[in-house]
Amino acid sequence: MKKTLLLLSVLLSFQSFSQIHIDANTPIYNGNGDNYDGPPPPPPLIPYVKLNTIINNEFTRQLTLVFAYEATDGVDKDFDVKNMDGDYPQDISFWIEDEDYVIQGLNFNLSKKIPLSVKAAVSTNFKFYISENDGFDDGQPIYIYDALDMSYHDIRNTPYQVVVEPGKDTERFKISFTNNVTLGTNNAVRSILFISQDNKNQVLNVANPNNEIMKSFWLYDILGRSVISKDNLGTEQNFSFSTSGLTAGVYIAIFITADDAKITQKIIVSNSGN
């Protein structure tokens, strides 16, 4: 616990330090504007980034990701700090060993995906963006991965905004340092597959006019749960999937080709027959 408090103190100290403004009246300023007369400011002892999430435009939850060689992917009592605001109806946290945290220590690795826990009592708007970083590579992208449509969003450059349906979800959103989706490939393949929902007959129809090899298919609901999945679809020109057992709502259809290109399309299932 003492080490955790020390860490928080260090983070706050360096945040304050980074806000110090040096101008021509400062004793260590050199008139040439490119060198200091005194020693350079020290680098941060512990690199970190801060993820801000604006929830329903009502309040902002800030999460801090700390990078330390000795930290693990599990609970580290010297780094990780629990989210103690359990009464908030809408919130976001790091998800570590089935519990919610607001600070997580991590040994950096490009391949890691860091799970986030999102909860909402009602349909809620979440807006993710990186608000601050210190000692972390400015050129390293930071993404939000959304498992609902298997998409990546660079939140260092542009906030990612999404509506989350009621419930608690610990699998949909992750922080990632790499983007595993090649958008150009996906867009090129999209034109060879035509997906449409026939609500009158309660069937999802797919036309594959070029007989492309389709490796697999998933249909996800708005909470990111797989409701239909099929493997080894082959090269048929037409596929159809019954949607008669599904509740009305928005779904995401995802097809994977033989060369692992992704084709994603939103569909609307209606019980009205329209």
Band (pLDDT 50/70/90 cuts) for residue 83 is: very high
pLDDT of res. 108: 87
> Does the pTM of the predicted model rise above 0.75?
no
Residue 14 has pLDDT above 80, yes or no: no
- 3-class SS of residue 187: helix
Question: Where does CATH 2.60.40.3080 sit in the chain?
Answer: 183-269
User: Which of 125, 148, 117, 166 minimizes the C-alpha distance to 253?
Assistant: 148
More confident position, 180 or 245? 245
Distance CA 8, CA 102 (A): 12
Res. 29: pLDDT tops 50: no
DSSP symbols for 43-79? PPSS-EEEEEEEETTTEEEEEEEEE-TT--SS--TTT
Compute the mean pLDDT over every residue in the chain, rounded to the nearest whole number: 80
Please give the distance of CA 180 from its chain centroid, rounded to a whole number. Answer: 13
CA dihedral 101, 107, 108, 113 (to 10 degrees): -50
pLDDT-derived band of residue 30, with 50, 70 and 90 as boundaries?
very low
- The predicted pLDDT at position 122 comes to 93
Class of domain 183-269: mainly beta
Residue 202 to residue 41: CA distance in whole angstroms: 66
- Whether the pLDDT of residue 33 is over 50: the answer is no
CA dihedral 112, 139, 156, 141 (to 10 degrees): -30
Report whether 107 contacts 70 (CB < 8 A): yes
**Residue bearing the bigger pLDDT, 238 or 118:** 118
Confidence check: pLDDT of 274 > 60: no
pLDDT one-digit tens code per residue, 104-152: 999 888 889 999 999 999 999 999 999 998 878 888 899 999 988 888 9
Per-residue pLDDT tens over the stretch 177-225: 988 764 444 444 445 678 888 888 899 988 888 888 888 898 888 777 7
